[in-house]
Homo-oligomer: A and B are copies of this chain.
Amino acid sequence: MKFKIKNNIFTEAINNVNRALSTKTPMPILKSIKMNLTDEGMHLTASDSNITIKQFIPTYINNEQNIMIDEIGSAAVPGKLLLEVLRKANDEYVEIAMFEEKFIHINFKNSDFTLNCLDVREYPNIKLISTNQPIELDSNQLNEIIKQTVISVATSETRPILTGVNIKIQNNVLHCVATDSYRLSEKNVSFDFELPDINIVVPGKSLLELERLLVNTKEKVQLHLSNNMISFKMDQIIFQSRLLDGNYPETSRLIPKEFGLEQQFNRQELIDVVDRVSLLTREGATNIIKFDIYEDKTIISLDSPEIGKVVEEVHPLQQEGSLIRIGFNSKYLLDALKVLKEEIVTIKFTGEVRPFIIKTDDDSLTQLILPVRIE
């Protein structure tokens, strides 16, 4: 393998696939990026065995030559170090050559790096799934769905199925749900074209990595599914994740339909207040904030006998219903408010010990929080 490549294109691609690299792995080869250079271009693969990312760099893009190929071939190159070297490369092109099947040369300007490589034949054969009828989504839309639901996945492994987001399609409606059993995020999107019915659970960690990749993508994304895998195909990048095994709990009945009290707030103002109130929690105070809702004002407070307390007076833009006093984890509210986009949010309460929901004009999304009993 011997070639010359445009450094900015190569660095960006290595940076993309690097997201799948293991830092801790029983298989040292998974710290490597697999390079496979054909006449058509460079195929890059990285995997931690849960997530696999592949990227292709075509030899030519729009008649412009990105890779000057001397000799095709493949190699398993230490991914983190390669990325650091490329980032410091002060030249438009880098020259890369494999030699003795165990060293890779990286040349630019007056610099000459030689990195030890593992045997590329040890690299596991990772199959990418592909179906004839992929589901096509807009990348921005997919990114928003992930961002707005993944906040509620469980971080503890007590119930492994809850560490994922449940993605269902029924009657051309996409339902996405995540819950750690203290809060829940639900997003429902209708499509005006035919979609196959599915019901899968994708690990939250995988979706967080996918979200970072999607930020730079403006293309359509194709979803391919198998029994235990999901694959997201973009123009030159494929992101594949294993699915979680098991049945996701039925959550639709958890979301209340009738409410005793509704309050409207300016979203950013409410974020600022909850953010200030949460200051005390950093010093180890409880993270339970209370809303004391009166006719003319709402008192938001947090009380920690060891550290101190904070009291904020807020005035909802609108309010209707019976007055209550309710306590819950301030982080859940902050997380939920931060992934919304709309200026105005409505909090809909059912009762002092019943779940409440946060809604905006965008009816596709529901954020639900379970309160805790307060004295």
Contacts and interface: CB of A to CB of B under 8 A. Distances in A.
Interface of A: 78, 80-81, 84-85, 88, 90, 103, 110-116, 272-273, 275-276, 279-280, 282-283, 306-314
A307 B115 contact: yes
B279 A112 contact: no
Contact of A310 (B103, B111, B276, B311): B111
Chain copies in complex: 2
A311 B110 CA distance: 8
Nearest to A311: B112
A76 to B, nearest CB: 14
Contacts of A311: 111-114
B85 A279 contact: yes
Contact of A113 (B112, B275, B306, B310): B310
Contact of A110 (B78, B307, B313): B313
A114 B305 CA distance: 10
A279 B106 CA distance: 13
A117 to B, nearest CB: 9
A312 B103 contact: no
Contacts of A275: 88
B81 A111 contact: no
Given A85-B276, A88-B272, 8 more contacts: A81-B308, A88-B276, A110-B313, A111-B310, A111-B311, A113-B309, A113-B311, A114-B309
A113 B307 CA distance: 11
B114 A81 contact: no
A78 B284 CA distance: 13
Contacts of A273: 110-111
B81 A280 contact: yes
Nearest to A280: B81
Given A114-B308, A276-B111, A307-B116, A84 B313 contact: no
A310 to B, nearest CB: 5
A272 B312 contact: no
A309 B103 CA distance: 10
A308 B114 CA distance: 5
